Amino acid sequence: MTLIKSISGIRGTIGGKPGDNLTPIDTVKYAAAYGSWVKQQRNKENYRVVVGRDARISGDMIQQLVMNTLVGLGIHVLDVGLSTTPTVEMAVAMEHADGGIILTASHNPKQWNALKLLNAKGEFLNAAAGQVILDIAEKDNFQFAEVDDLGEISKNEAYIDIHIDEILELDLVDQEAIKKAGFKVVVDAVNSTGGIAVPLLLDALGVRTVKLFCTPNGQFPHNPEPLKEHLGDLMSKVKEEKADFGIVVDPDVDRLAFVDENGDMFGEEYTLVAVADYILKNKKGNTVSNMSSSRALRDVTEKHGGRYFASAVGEVNVVEKMKAEHAVIGGEGNGGIIYPELHYGRDSLVGIALFLSHLAQKNCSVSELRKQYPSYFMSKKKIELTPQLDVDGILKAIESNYTSEKISTIDGVKIDFPENWVHLRKSNTEPIIRIYTEAKSQNEADALADRFISEIKSIAKL
């Protein structure tokens, strides 16, 4: 059982002992630390925070604890109920709130939950703000409100509809072409809130929808990370239904992947590549992804005359780089689309609308669309960490072994070889080292990953 306290939020498993897991006591402690931070940002009479959740079994319990802790601090709460991460992000901005909390552990299994923390712009906190909150929690530095100054909870469960309306208003969402194309799509929403939001969006766009695991009860029918090895049911259903393609989202709907008409993966990395190709065809500009993402985005960006930039891993880092480089589209290779015309956050719903627009205008199949992009193959592996491992020392040793290569250390160690690359980094959300590689064939990518796993084990004497 695990509790991970990081600048990107508080994530842990439900049950067990306080301090070791995400128990009610830990939930209240970190909600109080976040609320205290919110009140430090501006001196005002009324503070308001938006709270929403995915459909995890523990979600309602955690939400009640979080909301009432904020009430105890004298903060008013807008409860948007079952929602998506991008929907809560948009609600914070549209409500001019002081912050937001999304209760979701993203792609982690059902025993996990987390507090994802937002600033007043509806964006994830930067490292400095996250550290302040951890420090407040460590010192139990809370000042709760007196009885006449308690906050209040109000509800607005219309924000998924509002989110969809905002997407439909975007210039590059071609509703007419999508409706004319007459798409039939299978949706796997892993029995979370994508089962509410994605069919609503598709219906508004005139797309016939076959629902697979769209009941938002938190009973995940498979590992919720949208990777090939977890999506056998979706692949089979697409072929059985003779659908144009399949859509899969993670529990909080900020990661997006597609399955083509043959039941084959389009490639999680290529979600952003395809959407960027469409945006750049219509609007010149730059792109950003994190350094664990495919080189294919760089290739497509340069084809359209733009410049590609890489950031450290983490949505807040991508967003900061996008703003600095005036990127027109960006995101993460795990299927996260960030489209600034809507908001600065990973958003599967806007990704679906833009992908459908691209596909409708291209008038081709999903498999034919995939063939239009450079072929790279990735391997994503990991090594479980133990407390005694000196991870920083291991990464430093790897770096010293490859001084003749192009190396970046802004986030772990990334080594760019002429024909492939490897990126080694500690996860912010799990006790693991991630080993990402990319090459011109799957065998080469896997072999490169295995080679570095062996090197790490040798250095660590595992």
Annotated active-site positions, please?
106
Q: How far apart are alpha carbons 406 and 288 in whole angstroms?
A: 19
Tokens of 337: 């689309």
Any bridge partners for residue 141, and if so which? Answer: none
The beta strand positions in 352-427, using DSSP E, are 377-384, 406-408, 413-416, 421-426
What Rg do the C-alpha atoms of the chain give, in angstroms?
A: 22
Q: Is the CB of residue 455 less than 8 Å from the CB of residue 448? A: no
Task: Say whether 431 sits in a helix, a strand or coil.
Answer: coil
DSSP strand pairing (421-426 vs 327-332): unpaired
Tell me, what amino acid is at 145? A
Separation in Å, CA 442 to CA 262, 291, 369, 446 = 20, 19, 20, 6
- Yes or no: say if 348 and 253 are a contact pair by the CB < 8 Å rule: yes
Half-sphere exposure (Cβ direction) of 170: Cα atoms closer than 13 Å: 23
Q: What three-state secondary structure class fits 241?
A: coil
Query: Where do we find the tokens 């719903």?
Result: 349
CA proximity to 70, closest of 52, 53, 50: 50
Query: Which residues sit opposite 210 in a β-bridge?
Result: 186
What does the alpha-carbon distance between residue 373 and residue 435 come to, in Å, rounded to a whole number? Answer: 24
Phi-psi region of 43 (alpha: psi -120 to 50; beta: other; left: phi over 0): beta
From 292, 186, 169, 271, select the one nearest 236 (Cα to Cα).
186
